[in-house]
Chain A
Amino acid sequence: MATATAHHDAHPTGITRWLFTTNHKDIGTLYLVFSLFMFFVGGTMALIIRAELFEPGLQITNPHFYNQMLTLHALVMIFGVIMPAFVGFANWQLPMMLGAPDMALPRMNNWSFWILPFAFTLLLSTVFMQDQGGGPAGGWTMYPPLAIQGGIGTDFTILSIHMMGISSVLGAINVIATILNMRAPGMTLMKMPLFVWTWLITAFLLIGAMPVLAGAVTMLLTDRHFGTHFFDAAGGGDPVLFQHVFWFFGHPEVYILILPAFGIISQVIPTFSRKPLFGYNSMVYATASIAFLSHVVWAHHMFTVGMPVAGELFFMYATMLIAVPTGVKIFNWIATMWRGALTFETPMLFAIAFVILFTIGGLSGLMLAIVPADFQYQDTYFVVAHFHYVLVTGAIVAIFAGAYFWLPKWTGHMYNERLGKWHFWLTMIGMNLTFFPMHFLGLAGMQRRVPDYALQFTDFNQWASVGAFIFGFSQLLFVILVIQAVRGGKRATAQVWEGAEGLEWTLSSPPPYHSFATPPVVK
């Protein structure tokens, strides 16, 4: 048995193992390591922004460089951190959760990952082209006419977005094919773990949204170089058109960034409550209806462009409607914990923090959905506070919950629980100190995307900057913790957590290189 397994697990060693791998576990690791690395790249940019905003006036950046930092920070965090992290989780977990030997299309899987480092090399190289205009500086939304006037960095950005788009569409195709075709006998759709369900729906959102973004940036590119006038008013085009096309992608994109987080939380909370998930069916339907609604609310990002009242009312009500399925989810998580035998290991702490903090982000989103209020909040720090509450204290916190939850399974070693708790509490203090004051700054009228501000905003900005540095540097604890867990530590059992249920917990920790070569039977 031992020799058979050893032979079976044979794979190239060194760099070629990672370059040529078609193994879902290896590719999952690649995605997660890439995401962690980019987290620090994007985080460094955020700290440059916060350092500049520590005091009013211009200290360490000029406005143009500041604008590059905020643009790249967004692109890196969205396309380089959150999305790859979720794809990494999907690669590791989907085959193990479904009882499949690997992803459906292993070679394509390799390609989807290896496009990413090149895409980001292209994007980040623009920082070193300051003499040619530097990186993209018009905001990650790339609104024309600025995006059309920008320097060569804009072209690099457009092409790197094409590559990221290809990568995530290939990834999504793989996920759908895996979930639809590779399930173990007896694993019906309504028996799938919720993480699988949320990823299936996310993959469909990716298929619907990413190609539209590719189209929008292609139009920008042809407007810049080939004399088309999609967005050029002088030639009969319309810059507002770009905003419509962009947000037709952009709003599904925000659910792409949060649905897998919902899935992770739906795995973690039942485990540490030692109860099955409350309302499984309603969770599935809620996820599907969020995905459907996400396609018909895009214009709430652009209430101030001068839409007719009927349009504003439609987009306002449709946006508010999303609060219903989201509320169902929050309710179900709380009901799962209700009278459960709760323990508070690090994954559970992050999961509970997610439920509380994501709800704050959801509520500020509801405030932004109110058209007359949005006219006040548009382009202020209130918006910045809102989307950081859903993306940082939402998506990133869920990613940490998932990482701590599955790390013992992946490495075979328990992580350092004490260090994990330190990481959790420092992260909580840091991120809330960073983002909570931004609500007040926005309501008081501080504009986003400006490196300078009026004197009365100084106090809250200093809180936010101090919080950002605490938040940023405490992430180094996580890196130490992961390295420790990979190298050794207390051996993890197959089940790892007392309350853990599902096929992945029937495999040894770490699981064999090829798992479920013969599919298990699910009753």
Chain B
Amino acid sequence: MQASPSRTRLNRRTAIKIAAVALGMFGFGYALVPLYNLACQVAGLNGKTGRIDAQAAAVAAPSARTVTVEFTGNATSGLPWEFRPLTKRIDVRLGETVTVKYYAHNTAQESVTGQAVPSVAPSAAAPHFKKIQCFCFTQQQLKPGETREMPVRFTVLPDLAPDVQTITLSYAFFNVDKVSAQKYGGEAAPTETHPAHDHARGANG
């Protein structure tokens, strides 16, 4: 109130500077998204698997060492499909190219398109697990009642850390259409009490 004009100007300048920093931090929040993805890629974190083409895979000579690969998969609640691996587990020689199949069946009365998202555990193994061919590379559309066997071709590179004996490949199949997902999901329905409850129980699920 009694502030002199020069002090008012000083205050205004300080305020603008700090407001600029605040805006910058808002942008930084968004910058964390690519930074995070980059960090995951570099370190092979979060079970993000890589791709490799068939020729590059053939270069690596198969070694005598074997590793157990387990398969699992589930259709998320918005996708009206039956989805499971046809092979539950398999012993694979490092460097060998192997094909396994997943079973998918559309139980709905209409065509539904899904997208599978893969994940590999333990995450230390993820950079060495390479897929040559996978139904997760593209979206998959199933006609009403259609059943399909979906192949995955992969190889485990020989430079896998010696302490890894078992690798698990998991797929979560999502409905790509939000409206359709809501129709089959039930989770988005507002008065439903289960999801919140499940969250409380299964934070590490």
Contact = CB atoms under 8 A, between A and B. Distances in A.
A211 B203 contact: no
Nearest to A244: B36
A230 interface: yes
Contacts of B124: 308
A322 interface: no
Contacts of A152: 190
Given A149-B187, A149-B195, A517-B2, A233 B117 contact: yes
Contacts, number: 161
Contacts of A150: 190
A210 B12 CA distance: 21
B15 A234 contact: no
Contacts of B199: 138-139, 143, 146, 449
Contacts of B21: 207-208
A176 B14 contact: yes
Contact of A211 (B3, B22, B45, B193): B22
A67 interface: yes
A127 B199 CA distance: 20
A307 interface: yes
Contacts of B46: 238, 240, 306
A180 B25 contact: no
B142 to A, nearest CB: 16
Contact of A137 (B10, B28, B196): B196
A341 interface: no
Interface string A148-175: 0111100000000000000001001110
Contact of A234 (B19, B28, B175, B193): B175
B32 A244 contact: yes
Contact of A67 (B117, B176, B200): B200
Contact of A308 (B10, B23, B121, B123): B123
Contact of A146 (B23, B47, B196): B196
Interface string B174-205: 11101000000001101101011101110110
B59 interface: no
Q: How large is the interface on A (under 10, 10 to 19, 20 to 34, 35 or more residues)?
A: 35 or more
Contacts of B24: 211
B99 to A, nearest CB: 25
Contacts of A180: 14
Contacts of B197: 63-64, 67, 450
B15 A210 contact: no
Nearest to A153: B190
Interface in A205-226: 207-216, 219
A234 B174 contact: yes
Contacts of A146: 195-196, 199
B33 interface: yes
Contacts of A514: 1-2
A132 B190 CA distance: 6
A173 B22 contact: yes
Contact of A149 (B22, B27, B176, B188): B188
> What's the dominant secondary structure at chain B's contact region?
helix
B196 A64 contact: yes
Contacts of B178: 227
A210 B29 CA distance: 10
B77 to A, nearest CB: 10
B204 A248 contact: no
Given A104-B15, A108-B15, A173-B15, A64 B32 contact: no
Contacts of B3: 101-102, 104
Nearest to A151: B190
B203 A379 contact: yes
A135 B46 CA distance: 32
A104 B14 contact: yes
Nearest to B19: A173
Contacts of B33: 219, 230, 241, 245
A236 B158 CA distance: 28
Contact of A181 (B7, B37, B187, B190): B7
Interface of B: 1-3, 7, 10-12, 14-15, 18-19, 21-30, 32-33, 36-37, 40, 43, 45-47, 76, 115, 117, 121, 123-124, 172, 174-176, 178, 187-188, 190-191, 193, 195-197, 199-201, 203-204
23 contacts: A63-B197, A67-B197, A131-B191, A138-B199, A143-B199, A151-B190, A169-B22, A177-B15, A207-B25, A208-B25, A211-B22, A234-B76, A236-B117, A240-B46, A241-B36, A241-B37, A245-B32, A248-B29, A304-B204, A306-B45, A308-B43, A308-B45, A449-B200
